[in-house]
Structure 1
Amino acid sequence: MNEVASAPELTSLQQRVAREIVALVRRDNRVAGDHLPEIQLAQHIGTSRSPIQVALRHLAQLGVLQQDTNRGFFLSVDAKDWDGSVASLLSTDDPLYLRIAEDRQSELLPDEVTEAELMRRYGVARSTLRKVLSRISEEGWIEQSMGHGWRFLSLIDSPDAYEESYLFRQSIEPGAILGPSFNFVPAELKQLRREQQRIVDGGFQTMTPIELFEANSHFHETIAQWGHNRFVLQSVRRINQLRRLVEYRQATKRGPRHTQAAEHLAILDAIERQDFMQAANLMRAHLNGARRGKLQDSSVFSQAA
């Protein structure tokens, strides 16, 4: 695939939108010729059409989309071949991002920091720093305080925190499946099955850590949404935000991802059969197995990880 090096730099919002478009296209394994309607993308991502249009033009300049003046944007390259600078939109390899993440997990950064302090520590301009802080804010582990100050939020980044989070999830996620309001959406179930099958069929070896994490989060959040209990859904989403950084590290260990995706498929099969008791039991066993596996791998919680 040919890359276009002259593509303009995107704002933080436009980067996020482009990243989500790439993740969506790769997750659905779309093929050349598929249409990407701007309105549907805006609704899915939760933004206006303006950043959608900028992101689509950016992807067109990178050579993976083509624009039809009257009909919009279409894939010119199969999603499986979206590599190079396009796939890098999903990467977490921004050096400043990684340094802040490592320093925070190693407790080298306090709970509250100022932009001036961070600029001195990392030797970067304010504009560069703010782009990274905006991205971290979108991921849910920092928030802006008064003036130029920022406050780091709690993460699930210790064995005790992981133990507590999984025990909590074992109580609410299977319970949502057994709840009186649970009602799955066949089209969404089909999409989840396609995503998880892609991982089983080799994606666990080739997908980026972010893609693996997002596919996992999408699976659990969608099932929670089918339960039609806002508190369960909010809790699952919040836990996913809090465990993001540790999950990125664990996504480098590829074997467990294949097993987890296979277990996801078994849960979906039970839901489709409307055997909700079996689905809930499989979900509980799945979460318990994941809990044991993560707690046994204590290296991801160490400062040297």
Structure 2
Amino acid sequence: MKIAIAGATGQLGQLVINALLERGADPAQLVALGRSEEKLAPLAGKGLETRAADYNVEASLVSALEGVDKLLLISGSEVGQRITQHENVINAAQRVNVSLIAYTSIANALTGNMKLAQEHVATEQLLAGSGIEYVLLRNGWYTENYTDQLLGYLNSRVVLGAAGNGRISAAPRADYAEAAAAVLLSEENESGKIYELGGDKAFTLSQLAGAVGAAAGQEVNYQEVEPEKLVAIYTESGVPAQFADILVDTDVQVRDGALEVNSADLSQLIGRPTASLGKTIKEALAQ
């Protein structure tokens, strides 16, 4: 059985491949798909078959998916283009009779009301109408969305946000990757399953600030900012306007629970508790 990972050269894709190999997958049965032959080369060095494919070019996807049984469709990173890109992948999978697609959607996709969720919801609808069996991996927030900003938090001694006391069930990207690997290697029928994935212990942005300060041995506080002002702060710091609006909208929806996951799906799939916020921050600081 061949398992293909679309988006294999990205951060999540590489972690999924590592998790598959750690769980005993035969590298010869894994197909890594990516745009760049150069970036695919290290994966070929691990014994995987590599195939160049572009989410924007359906013909490249058809040839890349030949002989594939299961496909992990990692959502594209280009906001505003993902529906067309994902449709290209799904159409290609139809043409070569892929038997199962696992798609990395977003937590609480149908109820969270986030602008960021709109393309994920549209993709879920495309899958539902495709005739292909599929499973939804609704990934919650990555802890790296915050730990990647540690230097800024520590220099300013403040975490800015518009999330109020909303709780976020974040987990490291590696935990979500391990869950995807578990589903892809499962001998059970995964078709039709929806996994709501998030960290075991949700936290507020105020608690995030406290955890950052505790790990670094300095005071860091959370500062609530009006949404319009926060958009301006982001854009003035160089964040593209469309993405700044999405980030702040996510914060606003977090107030109403958009990123709080009330299932244990993630820890059950990976067979252990999810990595804690404090541990993840300390590891990031050590790097």
- Provide the TM-score with structure 2 as the length reference: 0.27
Answer 1 or 2: which has greater strand percent.
2
Please state which structure has a larger fraction of its residues in helix.
Answer: 1
Rg comparison, structure with higher value: 1
TM-score if structure 1 supplies the norm length? 0.26
